[in-house]
Structure 1
Amino acid sequence: MVFVSSRIVFGENAFTEKLVVEDREFEGFSIAVDVAPFLLIRSKEGCMLGCGFLDIEAADALNSCAVKVKGVKTFDDMMTAKVVEVSKAAKKKGINVGMTGKAALLRF
């Protein structure tokens, strides 16, 4: 489970939250899009855990650390969802397809 330490709302369709996962802080972003939200969790180092909207090919082109999970609607869902795609930079951190989103976050 994710602990939320603060929330900033941007209009009716977007917000950001400070998230704490096992004593590590992350920033979560949520933007309402069609039937599912665009979700992204970012580490202080710049690594990203994102939902199905995240483009791993673009992350690779930018040499960015990015990890994708699918079928999620909340930050808590992202913790238990299985990683489905990983950028080359994320692979160097030991993140692999099949691990949970939470396990990936803790390797950032």
Structure 2
Amino acid sequence: MITVNPLEVDGMMFTAIQVELPKTNLIMITNETGYIMCAALDVDVLNEKLAHRKVVAGRAVGVRSIDDLLNAPLEKITDASRTYGWEVGMTGKEALLKIA
């Protein structure tokens, strides 16, 4: 099942997407600037092979819900996300508010 819902974070609107897969879930929160996602995101590919696209993205590990993703520290971020003030270790919520 695929679930897509609007998500308000401190008054700013995002889109929460959850894809239920066998034995795991794909979870992400996005807006028109960038996104955060569960560990299914391959940040290295975005930085090394797709750097010219300047994708703003971050990955959190061990999350099982949208709330987990908002509160988990980002374990890895793209180089392009640094231009928005993102840092490894900041929470998903903190990162999202920087691109709101």
Give the TM-score taking structure 2 as reference length.
0.88
The residue correspondences of 1:68-79 to structure 2 (distance < 5 A) are 68-79=59-70
Q: Secondary structure at the match of 1:91?
A: helix
Question: 2:35, 2:46 → 1: CA distance?
Answer: 10
Amino acid corresponding to residue 15 of structure 1 in structure 2:
T
Establish whether residue 49 from structure 1 lines up as the match of residue 36 from structure 2: yes
Question: 1:29, 1:39 → 2: CA distance?
Answer: 6
Amino acid corresponding to residue 35 of structure 1 in structure 2:
K
CA drift of 1:36 comes to: 2.1
Structure ranking higher on relative contact order (CA contacts 8 Å, 6+ apart): 2
CA drift of 1:92 comes to: 1.1
Establish whether residue 31 from structure 1 lines up as the match of residue 19 from structure 2: yes
Q: Secondary structure at the match of 1:92?
A: helix
Alignment length (residue pairs)? 95
1:94 alignment partner in structure 2:
85
Question: 2:56, 2:45 → 1: CA distance?
Answer: 11
Instruction: Indicate the structure with greater helix content.
Output: 2
Instruction: Indicate the structure with greater strand content.
Output: 1
- In angstroms, what is the RMSD of aligned CA positions? 1.1
Q: Which runs of 4+ in 1 moved over 4 A?
A: none
Amino acid corresponding to residue 9 of structure 2 in structure 1:
V
Give the TM-score taking structure 1 as reference length.
0.82
Q: Percent identity?
A: 25
Question: 1:17, 1:91 → 2: CA distance?
Answer: 27
Could you tell me which runs of 5 or more consecutive residues in structure 2 were left unpaired when the two chains were aligned.
none
Could you tell me which runs of 5 or more consecutive residues in structure 1 were left unpaired when the two chains were aligned.
1-12
